[in-house]
Amino acid sequence: MIADGLPSRRAAIRLSIAGTLAGGLAFGCSKPGAQADEALTADERATLAAVADTLVPGSAAAGVADFVAAMLGEPDPRLCYRFVSFPMPPKAFYKLTLASLDDLSHTTMGKTLNALAPSERLHVAEKLLAPNAKDWKGPPAALVYFVLRSDAIDALYGVEETYARLAIPYMAHIEPPRSW
């Protein structure tokens, strides 16, 4: 097996495969589990679904809340937020954002965001686009709008089922291990 202190080619390949499998299991290639369930509360998921569906209609039905919660349960969440260089951990950003959205909704409309009618939700979401959003107490409003809209687009249009519904061939260079 070992010639001149080096493993045989076959042994080296076995070690390489074992290391790859162990690394993949350690770095998030497994299915989301309890961590995803703990990432966002039911109320936070409802708020996220409501605002995302307002920004990108159909994203709530596509599972945007489950998508974000699953990503937040990963050691390195694959969300748009990772590219904006905002100095806050992703989970803290989402929790503060969703609490701030509910607070803004309650201050301006008298109800939480997910309790509003779609037209009322639009009124609240439009406040995120204002240069100095009045009554907003969360991270920069434009950043929140950008990140949540990007998540909604990813959840709705980043899966094979949407391509099939739109009659567009799905030609992934690398097939994802799960739908998102």
pLDDT digits (tens, 9 = 90+) for 40-75: 999 999 999 999 999 999 999 999 999 999 999 999
Give the C-alpha separation, 103 to 117, whole Å: 16
Co-location of 13 and 81 in the same domain: no
Co-location of 96 and 24 in the same domain: no
> How many domains does one find in the chain?
2
Co-location of 51 and 100 in the same domain: yes
Please say if the pLDDT value at position 23 is more than 80: no
Q: Where are the beta strands (DSSP E) in the chain?
A: 2-3, 6-7
Co-location of 83 and 141 in the same domain: yes
pLDDT, mean of residues 115-132: 91
Give the C-alpha separation, 51 to 59, whole Å: 10
Please say if the pLDDT value at position 3 is more than 80: no
Contact 36/67 with Cβ under 8 angstroms? Answer: no
Print the domain residue range for 11.
1-30
The pTM of the full predicted model, rounded to 2 decimals, is 0.75
